[in-house]
């Protein structure tokens, strides 16, 4: 198997960190990012031949691209970009500051990062863009309206890029990684079930990315449940 160059945006903890570890263990070059520079240093120090890093806050859209271009230059190119930086909170009081932080991260920063990766791969003649969305994006959620709406945005944005790549005959794969509940610090939903250990989730994501799948459900049962949830009539959805 040819060695890849993969950048994982948001790899200091959780799913991104576990996925970075799988790629590094498989012998690929891995660029990792996040705000917590000490963690990036610690991860890199454990396997310096595999990792490269840069620390930045993705919601600072004035500096994102410069950081990514510097990382790509250090790595000598990139063929896969995974956006794992994301998150959100339940927001029963609909506090606008909470919703705005979610929008800045899951919509604003995501859009800039995804667009940068797509255009980079277009210029290069191919590549693979993936992002971690959520089952929460399938339908609106009373516990976390901003979070579920932001994940719906990501799901639709990725669909748009997939259609664009095909129509423009670009060799760019777009993968939507759609988890239910993975055992990380961000999983704050009051309703949690079928929780997948983060290492297991990372291995499933790795397999899905290697197969260049359009959508990877974590765990796999969410493919069926998600399909049924989409079909749930509006009159019933609003009562749950």
Ligand X SMILES: NC(=O)c1ccc[n+]([C@@H]2O[C@H](COP(=O)([O-])OP(=O)(O)OC[C@H]3O[C@@H](n4cnc5c(N)ncnc54)[C@H](OP(=O)(O)O)[C@@H]3O)[C@@H](O)[C@H]2O)c1
Residues that bind ligand X (CB under 6 A): 10-16, 34-36, 57-59, 84-87, 105, 132, 134, 179, 181-182, 184-187
Work out how close the CB of 210 gets to ligand X at its nearest, in angstroms, rounded to a whole number: 19
- Residue 36 or 223: the one with the smaller Cβ distance to ligand X is 36
Listed residue (86, 91, 96) closest to 130, CA to CA: 86
Complex with ligand X: residue 29 or 132, whichever CB lies closer: 132
Strand partners, 34: 55
| Distance in Å, CB of 75 to ligand X, minimum | 18
Beta strand 172-179 with 127-132 is parallel
Distance of closest approach, residue 8 Cβ to ligand X, in angstroms? 9
Q: How far is the CB of 59 from ligand X (least distance, A)?
A: 5
Q: Is 14 or 146 the residue whose CB approaches ligand X more closely? A: 14
Closer to ligand X by CB, 3 or 223: give it: 223
């Amino acid at each position: 198997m040819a060695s890849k160059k993969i950048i994982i945006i948001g790899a200091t903890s959780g799913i991104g960190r576990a996925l970075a570890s799988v790629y590094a263990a498989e012998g690929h070059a891995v660029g990792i990012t996040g705000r917590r520079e000490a963690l990036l240093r610690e991860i890199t120090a454990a396997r310096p031949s595999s990792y490269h890093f840069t620390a930045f806050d993705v919601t600072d859209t004035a500096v994102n691209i410069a950081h990514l271009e510097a990382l790509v230059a250090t790595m000598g190119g990139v063929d896969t970009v995974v956006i794992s930086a994301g998150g959100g909170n339940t927001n029963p009081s609909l506090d606008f500051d909470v919703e705005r932080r979610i929008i800045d991260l899951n919509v604003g920063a995501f859009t800039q990062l995804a667009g940068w990766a797509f255009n980079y791969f277009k210029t290069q003649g191919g590549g693979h863009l993936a992002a971690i969305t959520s089952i929460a994006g399938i339908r609106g959620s009373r516990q976390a309206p901003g979070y579920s709406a932001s994940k719906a945005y990501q799901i639709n944005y990725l669909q748009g890029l997939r259609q664009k790549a095909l129509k423009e005959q670009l060799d760019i794969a777009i993968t939507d990684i759609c988890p239910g509940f993975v055992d990380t610090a961000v999983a704050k939903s009051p309703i949690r079930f079928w929780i997948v250990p983060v290492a297991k989730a990372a291995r499933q994501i790795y397999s899905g990315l290697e197969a260049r799948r359009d959508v990877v459900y974590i765990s796999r049962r969410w493919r069926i449940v998600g399909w049924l949830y989409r079909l749930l009539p509006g009159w019933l959805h609003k009562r749950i």
